[in-house]
Amino acid sequence: MKKTFATKTFCLVLTSALVFGAFGINTVSAAKKATLKTKSVNLKINKKTTIKIKNKKKGAKYTFKSNAPKTVSVTKKGIIKANKIGKATITVKETFKKKTRKIGKVRVTVTDNKINPTIIPTEAPTTAPTTIPSPTATVTPSPTVAPTATPIVYPESFDTPEGFDTKSSDVTYGEVIKITYFSNVTGKNRKANVILPADYDESKEYPVVYILHGIGGNEDEWLQGNPDAIIGNLVANGEAKEMILVSPNVRAGADDSYPSDNAFSLEHYAKFDNFINDLRDCLMPYMENNFAIAKGRENTAIAGLSMGGRESLYIGLNMLDTFGYIAGFSPGYGVFEYTANGVSEDGLFTEETFTVPEEYRNNTFLMIIAGTNEGGIDSVGGKCHNAFDVNGINHWWYTPVGAHDFVTWKNGLYNFAKNIFK
């Protein structure tokens, strides 16, 4: 009897296993493996972040080990701390039922809290560059002008008229020229497009707007948005001052081409963040030495789209002694802490530091927009707007009909140009 019972029991168990296996209900084999949510992290000195693991197994133990603990340390709970400038790799392992496997590695890059240029040696330029002082970024600017008595009043309307971005036979438009300047920051010759006013006159002085491209663009991307037509029409209609537009390559590295195989990476983003040094120390002096540029923050503006919007806000708010007009059109990730596209960054600002010193609050034009199809208040632009509101910073925020594209960005340029240099 015992033998018969054991045989029946075995057959029943075997049959059940076959049935459950055939229908894919074997939960052990179907369980997802634990994986790392992020494989690269960028931290500033003394900052912390936590390694996040997806699909953790119940009862499993996870261990973390740094190959350079003096640079980057990690606790038993996976909390990373940046101790000094450098790089480190955190190896993450999972132990479950006495079996250990490596989940993966998290590469950590630690940078200084200051804005440091990336100086890359290379061959000497064929022509002697303009003498430029050594790059040193100043995060906290000193006021150069007295604030106005009352805050700036921003317009309520942000509509654009039909044909605002199209050239008309009745209007004379300025010339678009390509320039080459030497950058002491990258050690290379770099290019930019300069859009001059109609009937440009070197005996006059013109205010200047630096317009920055997105993550996949270069100095030519903004030309897709017809900026020469937009500005030319505004000036012809008496709605804007004559101005010079400069569209540079914002990727300030020895190789400033688009890295199609490595676009979403800390290395790529660092080139954009390094543009503050190239702009301040190389491009702006070149423009002032070779074009009829009116000096002073009241004559200098900066705006950017997407990744360029991240940089225009970063540069503008860190150089308030230089820029009196700052705009971010659909600013990209990185203004604040984020994780996206497999990359994590602390952010260039916190909500508390995304502000304007008292001496500049009444004399700085600040504008942020995001298209209606970009998430509105939940977009990066919306978070910038909220941070300004929390900090009591007067600014212009609106959401034109559009997506993360030139429909939105052309609207932004039109309204920005129409309301600056007044």
* Residue pLDDT, tens place only, 102-150: 988 888 877 754 444 433 333 333 333 333 333 334 444 444 444 444 6
Using one digit for the tens of pLDDT, what is the confidence trace for 40-90? 777 777 888 899 898 898 899 999 999 989 889 999 999 999 888 778 889
pLDDT at residue 47 in the model:
82
The whole-number average pLDDT for the span 155-178 is 96
| Rounded average pLDDT over 345-360 | 97
Whether pLDDT at 29 is above 70: no
pLDDT digits (tens, 9 = 90+) for 186-216: 999 999 999 999 999 999 999 999 999 999 9
Rounded to whole angstroms, how far apart are CA atoms 413 and 396? Answer: 13
Report the mean per-residue pLDDT for the chain.
Answer: 86
* Residues 81/85/87/93 CA torsion (nearest 10 deg): -10
Please report the pLDDT score of residue 38 as a whole number: 76
pLDDT in tens, 146-162: 444 467 899 999 999 99
Q: Which helix (H) or strand (E) holds 276?
A: helix 275-278
> Is the pLDDT assigned to residue 4 strictly greater than 90?
no
Q: What percent of the chain has pLDDT over 90?
A: 68
Q: Convert the pLDDT of each residue in 280-338 to its tens digit.
A: 999 999 999 999 999 999 999 999 999 999 999 999 999 999 999 999 999 999 999 99
Identify the pLDDT of residue 85: 77
What is the set of domains in the chain, with CATH numbers? 34-111 (2.60.40.1080), 176-419 (3.40.50.1820)
pTM of the entire structure?
A: 0.69
pLDDT band at residue 39 using 50, 70 and 90 as cut-offs: confident
Instruction: Check residues 127 and 257 and name the one with the higher pLDDT.
Output: 257
Here the contacts of 224-229 (C-beta below 8 Å, separation 24 or greater) are 224/406, 225/165, 225/406, 225/409, 225/410, 225/413, 226/165, 226/166, 226/167, 226/410, 227/195, 227/413, 228/167, 228/173, 228/174, 228/176, 228/195, 229/165, 229/166, 229/167, 229/173
Q: What is the pLDDT of residue 35?
A: 87
